[in-house]
Chains A and B, each alone.
Chain A
């Protein structure tokens, strides 16, 4: 008998019992005694883990989870899970069918089990192949995922760190920290203020290096927060590492195992990062109260902005995972296409949408609509304004390179190091942007070719659309429309400005003559609506930052 969501973080099997062991051995089944495994009988793949029900799910029928030896987590309907649970290499197809019928509550024949084994469970790598081997399957490359990632901290060290940080998740400590953080914000914004912290920061370049170091440290602690939250609930965090997310350098922690946790456990994992940012701010405040070093106030302010960024729900940041876990839909990004197609009044809603509970379907649909609008706008404007972004980045690069060498020659080491750091942080997003565009083109070409196989009309239409997009970009990227100079001091970067600037390109493509009213040269220098709204906002896309005479450059893009 399958039970519903439970309050514990521990996983359950289809009978409602706790899965004490982490791995269900390939040759062992629900009943340990019995005949020896028979190679002709279905058996689970080596190292497969049956994790139990996905708890707090947003599905009408809760799905079940399994994890392959390569770490890939699989979401399975109850019937497939029951078959997998019974496929121990000892039971025959007939015996499995009898056991599944009992658990499923409906008649399931021996032939049914054969079909499910051959067409569903073996291709997914849940069951071993006929010869007993485990399939080596390619891992999916999901939309908007982390790239160029490399593991830095091994799992064992991550576990050690979570042991150290474990007490920070004790309920009383959490309550005290949250209250302390609220008090910190009240004190910062209503009593002390931020002016003097920023004034000190501007006055001395070496302070920027200190601030940058503390921001990086806080980001590393953010990851410890995710890992500790994951382990506190009973799951096993994986490695920590670094990578490039779209265009930004990023730290990451593999908390894939958190899928097995309850909704509360998953949310604890999601919020553990910003919780540790809050703890870091409280510690910084403590040092400030001892030293009255005003620059620390600027650090706290900057980290507050970082916290807000993390809750951006349209990319795979903490905000996205919070929404996914609140709704109980583990991969909302994968449901974008079915949700959008289901919005068409003449189409029957896709089963990927109808399986969701009513309120979950509403939330997921709203998320999809806003995300598509955000991504299309941000990427569209970024592509149209690529010349300005390139011009601004190049101008900044030359300026920073000159400043770095001049400062070092004059013996101003701190200023020189800070400029060099900015050079690195400027180069990384530009490289990331280039890589992102290459991947986008590759993906579109492959998808269009594969998905339209045997359908010449569809293939022709999809390639015609891509050709139109290429033409549009060619017009946007070639003079006189293209502006390869850096951002104008008059550019505002408003949404209306970016849209009015895009209009002439469309008009030109459609054969209209001359720019549309309102498309001024200044407007054409607008790279994006807002640095915080565009994933491609380069370090110098903030007009204030690039034109400011103060030593206050934007050292990294803002998501």
Chain B
């Protein structure tokens, strides 16, 4: 017959004691990266087509100068 190990009344078992573990937490160093990657927003802007000549940003440019088209020299 197996002998059952019993702990004295009012005492924690070795397993319960072993389960009590403290931890060292890492320091909280909150950072900001010095990241002046100018290409990133500019590439994104190009991808969004806002810098190209045919983009909507310039689609409403007004033609204000009269166009003088012909094959004869203009008379001064």
- A and B part of one assembly: yes
Interface residues of A (CB under 8 A from B): 65, 71-77, 79-80, 101, 106-109, 111-112, 115-116, 119-121, 124, 126, 139-140, 142, 145-146, 149, 193-195, 198-199, 201-202, 208, 211-212, 215-216, 219-220, 222-223, 226, 243, 245, 248-256, 258-259, 269-270, 273, 298, 301-302, 304-306, 309-310, 316-318, 321, 330-331, 333-334, 351, 425, 531-532, 539, 542, 544-545, 548, 552-559
| Interface hits, B1-49 → A, CB 8 Å | 8-12, 14, 17, 19-46
A77 and B12 form a contact (CB under 8 A): no
Q: Which residues from A are CB-within-8-Å of B27? A: 71, 73, 139, 145, 254, 256
* Complexed CA–CA distance, A364 and B63 (Å): 60
A76 and B41 form a contact (CB under 8 A): no
Q: Flag B54-72 by CB within 8 Å of A: 1 or 0 each.
A: 0101000000000000000
Extra inter-chain contacts (15) besides given A252-B30, A253-B29, CB under 8 Å: A79-B20, A80-B20, A108-B10, A109-B12, A139-B27, A250-B32, A250-B33, A252-B31, A252-B32, A298-B38, A316-B29, A321-B30, A425-B36, A545-B43, A556-B36
Shortest Cβ distance from residue A137 to the other chain B in the assembled complex, whole angstroms: 8
- Closest-by-CB residue of A relative to B29 is A252
Partner of B32, one of A116, A251, A255, A548: A251
B30 and A73 form a contact (CB under 8 A): no
- Closest-by-CB residue of A relative to B41 is A301
Q: Which residues from B are CB-within-8-Å of A249? A: 33-34
* Complexed CA–CA distance, A310 and B34 (Å): 11
B29 and A254 form a contact (CB under 8 A): yes
9 contacts between A and B (CB under 8 A): A76-B22, A119-B17, A198-B41, A250-B32, A250-B33, A258-B28, A309-B35, A317-B31, A558-B37
* Complexed CA–CA distance, A532 and B29 (Å): 22
Q: Which residues from B are CB-within-8-Å of A119? A: 17
B12 and A557 form a contact (CB under 8 A): no
* Complexed CA–CA distance, A195 and B34 (Å): 24
A74 and B11 form a contact (CB under 8 A): no
A140 and B42 form a contact (CB under 8 A): no
Partner of A126, one of B17, B22, B40: B22
Partner of A74, one of B9, B24, B29: B24
Interface residues of B (CB under 8 A from A): 8-12, 14, 17, 19-46, 50-51, 55, 57
Shortest Cβ distance from residue B72 to the other chain A in the assembled complex, whole angstroms: 39
* Complexed CA–CA distance, A129 and B57 (Å): 73
* Complexed CA–CA distance, A145 and B31 (Å): 10
Q: Which residues from A are CB-within-8-Å of B45? A: 194-195, 198, 301
Shortest Cβ distance from residue B60 to the other chain A in the assembled complex, whole angstroms: 13
* Complexed CA–CA distance, A120 and B26 (Å): 19
Q: Among B12, B35, B40, which residue has the most Cβ atoms of chain A within 10 A?
A: B35
Q: Which residues from B are CB-within-8-Å of A253? A: 29-30
Report if A120-B21 is in contact (Cβ < 8 Å); known contacts: A107-B12, A270-B30, A545-B43: yes
B33 and A559 form a contact (CB under 8 A): yes
B34 and A120 form a contact (CB under 8 A): no
Q: Which residues from A are CB-within-8-Å of B22? A: 74-77, 80, 120-121, 124, 126
Report if A552-B51 is in contact (Cβ < 8 Å); known contacts: A101-B10, A330-B25: no
B31 and A198 form a contact (CB under 8 A): no
Shortest Cβ distance from residue A309 to the other chain B in the assembled complex, whole angstroms: 7
Shortest Cβ distance from residue A295 to the other chain B in the assembled complex, whole angstroms: 11
A212 and B23 form a contact (CB under 8 A): no
Q: Among B28, B29, B39, B42, which residue has the most Cβ atoms of chain A within 10 A?
A: B28
Report if A140-B37 is in contact (Cβ < 8 Å); known contacts: A109-B8, A112-B11, A194-B50: no
- Closest-by-CB residue of B relative to A212 is B36
* Complexed CA–CA distance, A198 and B57 (Å): 13
Shortest Cβ distance from residue B52 to the other chain A in the assembled complex, whole angstroms: 10
* Complexed CA–CA distance, A211 and B33 (Å): 15
Q: Among A216, A302, A557, which residue has the most Cβ atoms of chain B within 10 A?
A: A302
The 3 closest A-B pairs by CB, nearest first: A107-B10, A545-B39, A222-B32
Shortest Cβ distance from residue A187 to the other chain B in the assembled complex, whole angstroms: 16
